[in-house]
Chain A
Amino acid sequence: MATVPSVALKRTALHAVHKALGARMVEFGGWEMPMEYSGIIQEHVAVRTCAGLFDVSHMGQIEVSGPQALALLQYVTSNDVSKLRIGQAQYSALMYPQGSAVDDCLVHRLGDEHYFLCVNASNTDPDFDWLLKNNSVGAEVRNVSSDYSLVAVQGPKAAAIVSKVTEATLADIDYYCFCRTTCCGARGILARTGYTGEDGFEFYFPVAASERVWNSLMEAGGDEGLIPAGLGARNTLRLEAGMALYGHELDEETTLLEAGLGRICRFEKGQFLGREALLKQRQEGVRRKLVGFEMTDRTIARDGYAVWVEGKQAGRVSSGSFAPFLKKNVGMAYLPPEFTNVGREVSIEVRGRMAPAHLVPLPFYKRRR
Chain B
Amino acid sequence: MYPQELLYTKEHEWIRVHESTGTIGITDHAQKELGDIVFVELPQVGDQVTMKEAFGTIESVKAVSDLFSPVSGEVTSVNAKLQNAPELINSDPHGEAWLIKVKLTDRGQTEGLMTAEEYEAYVQEAAAH
A-to-B contact residues, CB < 8 Å: 1, 4, 24, 35-36, 39-42, 232, 235-236, 298-300, 302, 321-322, 324, 351
Contacts and interface: CB of A to CB of B under 8 A. Distances in A.
Q: 5 tightest A-B contacts by CB?
A: A40-B61, A41-B36, A322-B38, A39-B36, A300-B59
Given A35-B62, A300-B59, A351-B57, A232 B35 contact: yes
Interface in B1-55: 33, 35-36, 38-39
Contacts of B33: 1
Contacts of B62: 35, 40, 232, 235, 321
A132 to B, nearest CB: 36
A134 to B, nearest CB: 37
Contacts of B39: 298-300, 322
Nearest to A1: B33
Contacts of A321: 61-62
A232 B90 CA distance: 17
Contacts, number: 40
B129 A236 contact: no
A93 to B, nearest CB: 27
A41 B35 CA distance: 9
Interface in B48-92: 57, 59-64, 90
B6 to A, nearest CB: 21
Contacts of A41: 36, 38, 61
B36 A302 contact: no
Given A1-B33, A36-B35, A300-B38, A322 B61 contact: yes
Contacts of A235: 62
Most buried by A among B33, B36, B64: B36
Contacts of A299: 39
A113 B63 CA distance: 45
A302 B60 CA distance: 11
A24 B59 contact: no
A322 to B, nearest CB: 5
Nearest to A236: B61
A236 B63 CA distance: 12
A232 B61 contact: yes
Contacts of A4: 129
Contacts of A300: 38-39, 59, 64
Given A40-B36, A41-B38, A41-B61, 20 more contacts: A24-B35, A36-B35, A39-B90, A40-B35, A40-B60, A41-B36, A42-B36, A232-B35, A232-B61, A235-B62, A236-B61, A298-B39, A300-B38, A300-B59, A302-B63, A321-B61, A321-B62, A322-B39, A322-B59, A322-B61
A308 B2 CA distance: 44
A324 B61 contact: yes
A270 B62 CA distance: 42
B29 to A, nearest CB: 10
